[in-house]
Amino acid sequence: MFKYTCLNPISQVGLEKFTGNFSKTDDIKDAQGVLVRSASMHDMEMPEGLLAIARAGAGVNNIPLDDCAKKGIVVFNTPGANANGVKELVIAGMLLASRDVVGGINWVESAKSEADIAKMAEKEKKKFAGTEIQDKKLGIIGLGAIGVRVANVAKHLGMEVYGYDPYISVDAAWNLSRDIKHVLDINEIYEQCDIITIHVPLMDSTKNTINKEAISKMKDGVIILNFARDLLVEETAVLEAIKSGKVRKYVSDFPNPTTAGQEGCIVIPHLGASTEESEDNCAKMAVKELMNYLENGNIVNSVNYPNCDMGVCTNAGRIAIMHKNVANMISRFTGIFGDLNLNISDLTNKSKGEYAYTMLDLDDPATDEIVKKLEAVDGVIRVRVVK
Contact at 8 Å (CB) between 172 and 143? yes
106 falls within a domain: no
363 falls within a domain: yes
* pLDDT for 243 beyond 90: yes
Q: What is the pTM of this model?
A: 0.80
Q: How confident is the model at residue 177 (pLDDT cuts 50, 70, 90)?
A: confident
Choose among 261, 257, 248, 253: nearest CA to 232: 253
* pLDDT for 84 beyond 80: yes
Domain final position from 267, 293, 324: 267
Choose among 271, 296, 305: nearest CA to 77: 305
Shared domain check, 287 and 260: no
Beta bridge partners of 357: 322, 350
122 falls within a domain: no
pLDDT tens, residue by residue, 334-348: 999 999 999 999 999
Rg (C-alpha) for the chain, rounded Å, is 25
Question: Cα–Cα distance between 42 and 288 in angstroms, integer?
Answer: 24
Shared domain check, 177 and 253: yes
Q: What is the pLDDT of residue 298?
A: 98
121 falls within a domain: no
* pLDDT for 187 beyond 80: yes
* pLDDT for 172 beyond 80: no
Shared domain check, 288 and 169: no
* pLDDT for 3 beyond 80: yes
Domain final position from 305, 323, 355: 305
Beta bridge partners of 182: 163
Q: What is the pLDDT of residue 4?
A: 98
Q: What is the pLDDT of residue 248?
A: 98
Least confident of 38-47, 175-184, 282-291: 175-184
59 falls within a domain: yes
Domain containing 337 equals 308-387
Question: Cα–Cα distance between 111 and 183 in angstroms, integer?
Answer: 47
What kind and span of H or E run contains 353? Answer: none
125 falls within a domain: no
103 falls within a domain: no
Shared domain check, 15 and 138: no
* pLDDT for 207 beyond 90: yes
Choose among 240, 262, 311, 272: nearest CA to 146: 272
* pLDDT for 171 beyond 80: no
CATH number at residue 280: 3.40.50.720
Q: What is the pLDDT of residue 166?
A: 87
> Mean pLDDT across the stretch 188-209?
95
Shared domain check, 232 and 159: yes
Shared domain check, 137 and 241: yes
Tally of structural domains, the chain: 3
Q: What is the pLDDT of residue 41?
A: 97
What is the pairing mode between strands 247-252 and 195-198? unpaired
* pLDDT for 168 beyond 90: no
What is the average pLDDT value for the chain, to the nearest integer?
Answer: 95
pLDDT tens, residue by residue, 229-238: 999 999 999 9
119 falls within a domain: no
CATH number at residue 333: 3.30.70.260
Shared domain check, 246 and 148: yes
Question: Cα–Cα distance between 66 and 134 in angstroms, integer?
Answer: 45
* pLDDT for 264 beyond 90: yes
Shared domain check, 152 and 210: yes
Shared domain check, 92 and 69: no
Domain final position from 241, 267, 293: 267
Shared domain check, 299 and 386: no
* pLDDT for 308 beyond 90: yes
Contact at 8 Å (CB) between 52 and 75? yes
Q: How confident is the model at residue 203 (pLDDT cuts 50, 70, 90)?
A: confident
Shared domain check, 201 and 89: yes
pLDDT tens, residue by residue, 101-119: 999 999 999 999 999 999 9
Question: Cα–Cα distance between 278 and 56 in angstroms, integer?
Answer: 10
Shared domain check, 166 and 239: yes
